[in-house]
Amino acid sequence: MSNGPTARFRLVATGAARIERRMNLSLAVVAAAQGTTLERLRQIPADFWSKLGLGIVVLFAAVFVLRRVAKVNRLLLAFGLFLFATTIGIKWIHERTEPAWATPVVQVIAGFFPGKVRT
C-alpha cells in the first residue's frame, strides 16, 4: 500500500471545490434577489396576512377536533351529526335561507312543513 492519497480522495476534493464555487455563485444570486423578495412581501396587504394566519389557526383547530372526534363512540357521533343536520335543515326550511345548491330539495320538503310568515 502506498502512503500517498489515492485517486478517490483527489476526485472528491476536486468535486468539492467545484461544488463550493457553484454554491458561492448561487449565494451571490440569492443575495441579489433577496432585496426584491422582501420588497414584494412588504407590498402584500396586512389583511392578507391576517386571513392567512386565521386560516392556519382554523386548520390546526380542525385537526385537533377531528382527532378528538375519532375517539368518540360511533353511535354518539352519528346521533350528534343527525341532530346537527336536522337543526340546520329545519332552519333552512322555516327561514328559507338555504344555499343555492340546496334549493331544489328544500323546495320539495318545504311543502310539508310550516314556513315563516312573511309580512
Annotated domain spans of the chain: 1-43
Q: Calculate the CA dihedral of residues 106, 108, 110, 111 and round it to 10 degrees.
A: 170
pLDDT at 48: 92
Nine-digit cell at 37?
Answer: 423578495
Distance CA 83, CA 103 (A): 21
Residue 25 has pLDDT above 80, yes or no: no
Residue 88 has pLDDT above 60, yes or no: yes
> Which amino acid type is present at position 72?
V
The whole-number average pLDDT for the span 66-92 is 90
Distance CA 114, CA 119 (A): 15
pLDDT at 93: 87
Nine-digit cell at 62?
Answer: 380542525
- For the stretch 49-59, pLDDT in tens is 999 999 999 99
**Closest among 117, 112, 109, 81 to 98, alpha carbons compared:** 109
pTM of the model: 0.43
